[in-house]
Amino acid sequence: MGSHKFSHEKIPLEKIENCIWRIPKYKPGMRVPGLVFANEKLIKKMQTDRTLWQSANVTHLPGIYKHSVTLPDGHEGYGFPIGGVAATDYDEGVISPGGVGYDINCGVRLLSTTLSEKDLKPKLKQLANIIFRNVPSGLGSRRKDFRISASELDSVTKEGVKWLIKKGFGWSEDAEHCEESGCMRNANPQKVSPIAKKRGLTQLGTLGSGNHFLEIQKVDRIYDENKAETYGINFEGQVTVMIHCGSRGYGHQVCSDYLRIMENATHKYHINIPDRELACAPGKSNEAKDYYQAMACAVNYAFSNRQAIMHWVRQSFKQTFNQDPETFGLRLVYDVAHNIAKVETHKVNGGRKKVWVHRKGATRAFPAGHEDIPVDYRSKGQPVLIPGSMGTSSWILSGAEKAMDLSFGSTAHGAGRMMSRSAAKRKWWGEDIRINLEKRDIVVKAASPIVLAEEADDAYKNVDVVVDVSDNLGIATKVARLTPMAVIKG
Residues 6+ apart with CB under 8 A from 89: 63, 65, 283, 353, 354, 355, 356
Task: Dump the DSSP string for 237-290.
Answer: TEEEEEEEE--HHHHHHHHHHHHHHHHHHHHHTT---S-GGG--EETTSHHHHH
Taking residue 480's Cβ as centre, other Cβ atoms within 10 Å add up to: 25
State how far the Cα of 86 lies from the Cα of 66, in Å rounded to an integer. 9
Phi-psi region of 336 (alpha: psi -120 to 50; beta: other; left: phi over 0): beta
Instruction: Confirm if 23 and 52 have CB atoms less than 8 A apart.
Output: yes
State how far the Cα of 58 lies from the Cα of 49, in Å rounded to an integer. 16
Instruction: Confirm if 179 and 337 have CB atoms less than 8 A apart.
Output: yes
State how far the Cα of 465 lies from the Cα of 166, in Å rounded to an integer. 41
Instruction: Confirm if 69 and 33 have CB atoms less than 8 A apart.
Output: no
Least Cα distance to 237 among 487, 481, 488, 486 occurs for: 481
Phi-psi region of 91 (alpha: psi -120 to 50; beta: other; left: phi over 0): alpha
**Element holding 165 (H helix, E strand):** helix 161-166
3-class secondary-structure state, position 184: coil
Largest CA distance in the chain: 66
Least Cα distance to 79 among 215, 278, 249 occurs for: 278
State how far the Cα of 57 lies from the Cα of 217, in Å rounded to an integer. 39
3-class secondary-structure state, position 205: coil
Please give the order of strands across the beta sheet that includes 339-348.
14-17, 20-23, 34-37, 68-75, 82-89, 351-360, 339-348
Least Cα distance to 220 among 489, 410, 467, 399 occurs for: 467
Least Cα distance to 144 among 203, 90, 186 occurs for: 203
Q: Is 67 a catalytic residue?
A: no
Q: 20-23 and 34-37: which strand pairing?
A: antiparallel
Instruction: Confirm if 460 and 111 have CB atoms less than 8 A apart.
Output: no
User: Of the residues 60, 252, 338, 413, which is catalytic?
Assistant: 413
3-class secondary-structure state, position 408: coil
Active site residue ranges? 413
